[in-house]
Amino acid sequence: MSPVFPKAALFDLDGTLADSVHDLLAAANAMLEADGRAPMTLAGFRPHVSRGARAMLQAAFPDLAEDERLSRVPAFLDHYQREIGRHGGVFDGVEAMLGALEAAGTVWGIVTNKPEHLARELLPHLGWAERCAVLVGGDTLPERKPHPLPLLHAAKAIGVDPADCVYVGDDERDIVAAHAAGMRSVVALWGYRLPDDRPRDWGGDTLIEQPVELADRGRWPQR
């Protein structure tokens, strides 16, 4: 049988579709400046982005106790909200990939651990407010990735059986969630990772180096 695009493609957001590190770094550095601390570099901050606000604050304030870092999460998200869409964009090849999916009739959506209101605020900056069929954030439901509930909820919302969905993400939690939801998975190797991450050990069905490769139906895992 010739390869086909999936009926539905679901994506992580930061580090998979959106190269949002510059917006997030601006937020972290605003907090560091307010504390009289030196700014973080892009290279030092980038690997932590896919692990969420707590991990980013741990990288920015490694000397603080965990409870003190947690208390700064709301302020970090407020700073980030002011920076959304000002510095970042999408990874090269993402638009070609999404265009190929849309031309083939594939429904696509986003399942992220980013708070839903922030993810929803980002979409217009990327031109996706009307194109994204479903958006599930980290606080949309009682559970978040690596729990499968957000992926199952997204599949139900777009009316596609989980077995006909493929989930694409750059973090091990994405692949764990996809497997638990009964979806095939793609590891996005272009995303944000720590040096000791071993994405080839995550058990993804396919590993892809660049988004544009997914404009080719033959690169998607087949059912």
pLDDT in tens, 119-131: 999 999 999 999 9
Beta strands in the chain (DSSP E): 8-11, 18-19, 89-90, 107-111, 135-136, 165-169, 184-188, 206-208
Known binding-site residue numbers: 12, 14, 170
Which range of residues forms the domain containing residue 67? 21-83
Whether residue 51 is found in the same domain as residue 151: no
pLDDT in tens, 53-100: 999 999 999 999 999 999 999 999 999 999 999 998 999 999 999 999
Select which of 12, 19, 23, 174 is catalytic.
Answer: 12
Known binding-site residue numbers for Mg(2+): 12, 14, 170
Whether residue 112 is found in the same domain as residue 211: yes
Number of domain units in the chain:
2
pTM of the model: 0.92
Percent of all residues in the chain with a pLDDT value above 90, rounded to a whole number:
92
Q: Residue 107 sits in a domain of what CATH number? A: 3.40.50.1000
Percent of all residues in the chain with a pLDDT value above 70, rounded to a whole number:
100
Active site residue 12: yes
